[in-house]
Amino acid sequence: MTTIMDEDTCQKAGAVIDNQPGKIIKVEEPSIDRPKGCILHPFAEGSAQKPTRLFRNGRLDGCGTVEQCLCISNPKAEAAAKAKAAAKAEAAAKFEYAAVREGSCEDYGMTTIMDEITCKKAGAVIDNQPDKILKSVYTPIARPKGCTLHPFQRGSAQKPTEFFRNGRVDGCDAGCDCLCIKNPKV
């Protein structure tokens, strides 16, 4: 999907999605803390006189829980994105990741993950959530050093894998799993 950035397409999309032929559009030019592109707020639904809005210089990428971002299908871009995701998955498959419930990764002949990119990949693979988010903490904290995943954070891409760069605890206990990397496959 591609963000709608032109006035005519935005007006048409708003009219179709809201089922309001002749729905008006309001174009915002200044830089503003709104999603970039064409959006439809719930308060603007149900009336052709309540505008679809186009924020040409919006500073946010994507919509939140309130407004709807209006997009247009772009089959070539979608195919390219799928191919890129498949290549990333293939590259990640060269490494095996494991979760350790007690002790450290090194106790099991593996390596503690100490970088964010690998931590994000490990969390996605172990939780089988390709778009799993990562929460990074850099301040010294009484948490396991490296990459962790709590049992309550499993099963959703929106519940983060956590990366503690300056964790003060070596290894994990029953409260969370340490995510580890095994030797690369050759």
Do 45 and 63 contact (CB within 8 A), yes or no? no
Task: Supply the pLDDT for residue 17.
Answer: 87
Structure confidence by residue, pLDDT tens digits, 4-57:
999 999 999 999 988 888 899 999 988 888 889 999 988 888 888 999 999 999
Note the pTM of the prediction, 2 decimals.
Answer: 0.49
Give pLDDT tens digits for 145-170: 999 999 888 888 889 999 999 988 88
| Cβ neighbourhood burial of 131 (10 Å; 0-12, 13-18, 19+) | exposed
Taking CB atoms within 8 Å and a gap of at least 24, the contacts of 79-84 are none
Say if residue 172's pLDDT is above 60.
yes
Q: Is residue 122 pLDDT above 80, yes or no? A: yes
Report pLDDT for 34. Answer: 86
92: pLDDT confidence band, cut at 50, 70 and 90?
low
Per-residue pLDDT of 99-116, as tens digits, reads: 999 999 999 999 999 999
Binned at pLDDT 50, 70 and 90, residue 186 comes out as very low
What residues contact residue 20 under an 8 Å CB cut-off, 6+ apart?
A: 14, 46, 47, 48
Predicted pLDDT at 71: 87
Calculate the average pLDDT of the chain: 86
Please identify which residue in the block is written with the tokens 């999907």. Answer: 1
pLDDT at res. 184: 59
